[in-house]
Amino acid sequence: MTNYSNKSIVLASRPVGEPVADNFRLETTDIGGLEEGQVLIKTLYLSLDPYMRGRMSEAKSYADPVAIGEVMAGETAGVVVESKSDLYAVGDHVCSRSGWQEYFVSDAKDPMTYKVDADLVPLSAYLGVCGMPGRTAYFGLQSEGKPKAGETLVVSAASGAVGSVVGQIGKKLGLHVVGVAGGEKKCAYVKDELGFDEVVDYKSDDLDAALAAACPNGIDIYFESVGGAVSEAVAKQLNPGSRVPICGFISNYNTRDITTARTPFHIFGELETPPAHKFFLVFDYMNEYAEANKALTDWVTSGELKYQETIVDGLERAPEYFSWLFSGKNFGKLVVKVADQ
């Protein structure tokens, strides 16, 4: 086996508020030999996603926090460079939960490590539209949102990795789709490129008035990713029997004490007739991933499903790039190119 030097970014300290450079540390270690049934994966692309902020905190959550000194968690797409398994050959492209590092030793039977076809769609797309964000949209809207043709769907963070897919699937299902995005460029993309029926600019529009105009029949489904003022405005226009799948609420993620934050659970739970609302995990649908993966990939290759990526360079700068998720600097899925094949 070839000796590999592995750079990784570990969590150095717990962030208080928005993460800063001192919360992370770059380390270099050597990769040892493989055992039978293992594969060595070279990371080519790293996905950066809002949920990672929660993994940096000790607050109780659906997943254990990343330990101090541990490699930051995250999904990656890469290539097999060494294999001691009949399931994988050198040169296979794979996705895995390797975290923020250059190389990863995976058990070949790990369900979170799986082959992908980079000839069908670009490898980076398996971290976005054809990956975890796409699956989140696919199951969140259809299984949690329970849409019926003719209903009105409002999508927050509509130009983002999840929201953009939610809205496009909504259109395929015959919904009246309204996106909420920030700034003229993103709003134009949502309306003109993705084909949403209406778009509301949360940065410049009067949210209450704009949503009322865009949703003349009220709101039946709200796909929640943001929280805050957008959720407050949506809550006023929800119809009886409405559903609110909660994917996340990024506006609260850097609150110094999340227990004091006004979250979507407060906003929707205090309504006289609360909508059906709950936080859902895409991992709950793991047994159905193959179905979603095939549908999403087919739609992308046929041109039915469009997507936008912001691809940036350099593992060392991942902490800096991560902050873009909270300022809206990225456009679409944020992916770090770690290495060339």
Q: Cα(170)–Cα(181) distance, rounded to whole angstroms?
A: 17
| Domain range annotation of the chain | 4-128+307-337, 132-283
Q: In sequence order, what DSSP letters do the residues of 33-77 get, joined into one string?
A: PPPTTEEEEEEEEEE--TTHHHHTS-S--SSPPPPTTSBPP--EE
Q: pLDDT exceeding 90 applies to what percent of the chain?
A: 84
Quickly name the fold that domain 132-283 has: Rossmann fold (3.40.50)
* 319-336 tens-digit pLDDT: 999 999 988 899 999 999
Query: In this model, does residue 225 exceed pLDDT 70?
Result: yes
DSSP class of residue 224? B
Pick the CATH number of 4-128+307-337 from 3.10.129.10, 1.10.3720.10, 3.30.2130.30, 3.90.180.10: 3.90.180.10
* Stretch 227-242: mean pLDDT: 95
Q: What is the pLDDT, as a whole number, of residue 341?
A: 85
What's the pLDDT band for 234 if we cut at 50, 70, 90?
Answer: very high
Question: What is the residue-averaged pLDDT of the chain?
Answer: 94
Strand segments, DSSP code E, in the chain are: 4-11, 24-31, 38-47, 76-83, 93-96, 103-107, 114-115, 152-155, 176-181, 198-201, 219-223, 238-246, 276-279, 309-313, 333-337
pLDDT higher than threshold 70 for residue 251 = no
CA-to-CA distance for 196 and 10, rounded, in angstroms? 40
Helix, strand, coil % over all residues of the chain, rounded to 5: 30, 25, 45
pTM (2 decimals)? 0.91
Which tokens is 68 given?
């101090």
- Provide φ and ψ at 219, rounded to 5°: -120, 125
Confidence category of residue 256, pLDDT binned at 50, 70, 90:
low
Residue 57: other Cβ atoms inside 10 A:
17
